[in-house]
Structure 1
Amino acid sequence: MDAFDFRQQLNLGLAIPAHPLALASSRKLDERRQRALTRYYIAAGVGGLAVGVHTTQFAIRDARVGLFKAVLELAAEEMNVAAPLAASDSAKAETTFSNHLVRIGGVCGVTAQAVTEAELLHGLGYHAALLSLGAMRDADEDALIAHCRAVAEVIPVIGFYLQPSIGGRVLPYAFWRRFAEIENIVAIKIAPFSRYQTLDVVRAVIGAGRDDIALYTGNDDNIVADFLTPLRIKGKERRIVGGLLGHWSVWTNRAVELHKLCRNAAATPDLLRLGVEVTDSNAAFFDAANGFRGCIAGLHEVLRRQGLLEGVWCLDECETLSPGQPAEIDRVYRAYPHLHDDDFVAAHRDEWLKP
């Protein structure tokens, strides 16, 4: 990798989608469409990609599936191809952001597995690991911190507060305060879907004096409000500067525009109204009415309608759209035509799908 300062870019604030997994009807990897998704996100103007994370399906690590390394490699290859093109794009060069992409890979499992995955990411040129603690649900605080330190010795780490309803656990202020003291922590994705727990993370980062840890929202139910809210604690103000979101794996071109509009902006009635519209759309995609059971399939359905995916298949045959979820997606499409990017996708889809 070159001298690209990914930490600086993370602290400026980026729109980073969580990358889905493209499968054929056989539930085997559809490499052509997997590459097409990466090309879509890059063309949409994202600041980075998160691969091998929840939206990519944690089951890619199963020995019977064996897709973890493959999807990381495919995304890295497409980002490598795109880098010189982006560097010569004068329109992008006029923005305040780098023309490079921040490369983030998901890491999970107990410590031995997590360290092995971190080593793989490092070897493939990824900048940071998004560290899920879902496999450590019964570990005490000391064990969790030791686990995080072990991974941070291999690669810079982005903390991940995943909501309990999809595999996370409640992590108290005391944990986040100690976590923020680990030197190689570069950002935290705050995604508990809770104002209380979100504030725990922000208080901990401020309390640790870590101005260099970037705050990212993963609160898909509160995306716009997270950007608009100055968080002042003990006289110190921090902002949530970017988003690392499964929600942004769809309608991505509009998501990039939304981030630019809202990052460090003051709240206005129009922006607050827009935030409600985004949340309503997310409720349909993520299947909030059914406890998020169809959250990945819902994203696949949007991409299927746009012609980027062939179907909504997930590795788990039981993971599919919930009854009524397609109708909810129909509803938000009709209600918020200004939020989708169907025209953008239609104009470039055939190019992205080329082998």
Structure 2
Amino acid sequence: MKSLRAGAVIPAHPLALTPSRALDERRQRALSRYYVDAGAGGLAVGVHTTQFAIREAGLYEPVLRLAAETAADWASRPMIMIAGLCGGTDQARREAGVARSLGYHAGLLSLAALGQADEDELIRHSEAIAAEIPVVGFYLQRAVGGRDLSAAFWRRFAAIENVVAIKMAPFDRYRTIDVIRGVVEARAEDRVALYTGNDDHILLDLVTPFRMVRDGEEVEMRIRGGLLGHWSAWTKRAVEMHARARAAAEAGAIPADLLALDSQVTDANGALFDVRNDFAGCIAGCHEVLRRQGLLENMALLDPEEGLGPGQAAEIDRVSAAYPHLADDAFVKENLDRWLS
């Protein structure tokens, strides 16, 4: 877990489908190759961007297996492999077993299915899954099925010995700080890596020193990397921005143009994640960018009712024209045939 603690770009892996909504293995493999060559430090598979419905479609194990095999065959460096874990305790435990058998290093634990459970139940559930596989916590925003969790919950969660990281995606500064405070209060800052999933504050998360007071002394934590659906597209640029943000943070000098870049990334994310329509097209928007680049053949999602929100395509046009430096179109064009081979 050394590379996870050090910090990495971990794209949330989309799902490539044929027009008839069957798994398109060729393009699914091409996506994994793209992420490897773009410099990503790992892949998150079976997560929200992969579409939770892969479970009902019988695709959970095939999709995880294909990503693991492709990463092992294509990458010349170790890749952090993280599997999404969902459902009640029995289901999440089964998925952890599948992930572990395929060589995944950790599971990103969604608590969305336990929406009515109290925090004691959520901790018992988390402990049960952590007994099966190292766990990455997941604070999911309410707009896409998450719930509010207290700093006390995150203190108890971080105290679980096999918790190795937490992805913070509440899209809320107060609740992001609750997580960090919980990790510090649990005295887990050297074991639990912080990852941003706050697509509205990606670069600011990466350059901010979070200083909490414990026993009268300051404890500083940094968000080391990101596990993001936004980073499933334009990944080469994400890797470059992550490296730049980390270097600036370590130097203790954040240039104004990096702060300006944060606002541009946030604006672009608003288009990709369909903020105007309450995130209804947040998966489809990333698919649309990948389709325009040729990595995906079509916009097919498992739910035929799901797609781009009203006006979302025009918003993607707008941010693509306004911020061409955020796109990696030339990189994709240069390598696409090789990835599809």
- TM range, smaller chain: over 0.9
Q: Does 1:103 align with 2:81?
A: yes
Which residue matches 1:33? 27
Contact preservation (8 Å) 2:277, 2:310:
no
For 1:286-331, what per-residue CA distance to the aligned partner results, in whole angstroms no more than 9, with x for missing partners? 0000000001000000000000101111111111001110110000
Percent identity, aligned pairs only, is: 61
| Aligned residue in 2 for 1:140 | 118
2:340 matched to 1:353?
Answer: yes
Q: 1-side partners of 2:254 and 2:143: how far apart? A: 30
Q: Please say if 1:190 is aligned against 2:168.
A: yes
Q: d(CA) in 2 for partners of 1:293 and 1:172?
A: 27
**Could you report, residue by residue, the CA deviation over 1:26-50 in whole angstroms, capped at 9, with x for unpaired residues?**
1111111000000000010100000
SS state at 2:91 partner: helix
CA offsets 1:275-294 (integer angstroms, 9 cap, x no match): 00000000000000000000
Displacement, 1:267?
Answer: 2.4
In the alignment, structure 1 residue 224 sits paired with structure 2 residue 203: yes
Letter in 2 for 1:129: G
AA aligned to 1:322 is G
Q: Is the 8 A contact 1:304 1:311 kept in 2?
A: yes
Within the candidate set 293, 304, 309, 1:317 is matched to: 304
Inter-partner Cα distance in structure 2 for 1:174 and 1:232: 18
SS in 1 for 2:223: coil
- For residues 179-222 of structure 1, the C-alpha deviation after alignment (integer angstroms, 9 at most, x for no partner) is 01100000000000000000000000011111210000000000
In 2, Cα distance between the equivalents of 1:124 and 1:147?
22
Read off the aligned partner of 2:47 and give its amino acid letter: V
**Do residues 170 (structure 1) and 148 (structure 2) align?**
yes
> Is 2:128 the counterpart of 1:150?
yes
Aligned-pair distance for 1:82?
A: 2.1
| Structure 2 Cα separation of the partners of residues 141 and 243 of structure 1 | 26
* Residues 247-289 of structure 1: per-residue CA shift (max 9 Å, x gap): 0000000100010000252322111100000000000000000
Task: Please name the residue that 2:2 is paired with.
Answer: 8
- Provide Cα deviations, 1:50-96, integer angstroms capped at 9, x if missing partner: 0000000000001xx1100010000011011024xx1xxxxxxxxxx
Secondary structure of the 1:50 match is strand
Other structure's SS at 1:24 match? coil
Name the CA distance, whole Å, in 2 between partners of 1:262 and 1:109.
Answer: 35
User: Separation in 2 of the partners of 1:184 and 1:249?
Assistant: 27
Contact kept, 8 Å, 2:167 with 2:197, in 1: the verdict is yes
Give the 3-state SS of the residue equivalent to 1:241 in structure 2. Answer: strand
Q: Distance in 2 between matches of 1:113 and 1:163?
A: 22
Alignment partner of 1:43 out of 33, 37, 49: 37
Query: For each residue in 1:2-36, what CA deviation from the matched residue of structure 2 results, as whole angstroms up to 9, or x when unmatched?
Result: xxxxx111111100000000011111111110000
Counterpart of 1:207 in structure 2 is 185
Equivalent residues in 2 for 1:257-272 (5 A)? 257-263=240-246, 265=249, 266-272=253-259
Letter paired with 1:160: F
- Match 2:49 to one of 50, 55, 60: 55
Aligned to 2:272: 285
Whether the aligned pair in 2 keeps the contact of 1:229 and 1:267 (CA below 8 Å) is no
Count of residues paired in the alignment? 332
Q: Tell me the TM-score normalised to structure 2 length.
A: 0.96
The alignment's TM-score, normalised by the length of structure 1, stands at 0.93
Q: Name which of 242, 247, 251 aligns with 2:234.
A: 251
- Greater shift, 259-268 or 329-338, is seen at 259-268
Distance 2:29 2:159 in 1: 37
Q: Which residue identity does 1:297 align to in structure 2?
A: A
* Alignment partner of 1:339 out of 318, 326, 329: 326
C-alpha deviation, 1:341, in angstroms: 0.2
| C-alpha distance in structure 2 between counterparts of 1:319 and 1:133, whole Å | 23
What is the CA distance between 1:340 and its match in structure 2?
Answer: 0.2
Check conservation: 2:171, 2:198, Cα contact below 8 A.
yes
User: Is 1:305 aligned to 2:297, yes or no?
Assistant: no
Deviations 1:233-256 (A, max 9, x none): 110000001000000000000100
Aligned partner letter, 1:239: R
Alpha-carbon distance in structure 2 between the residues aligned to 1:138 and 1:212: 29
Structure 2 counterpart SS, 1:212: coil
Residue aligning to 1:80: 72
- The equivalent of 2:17 in structure 1 is 23
Q: Could you tell me whether the CA contact under 8 Å between 1:188 and 1:215 is conserved in 2?
A: yes
Aligned partner letter, 1:68: Y
- The aligned counterpart of 1:4 is none
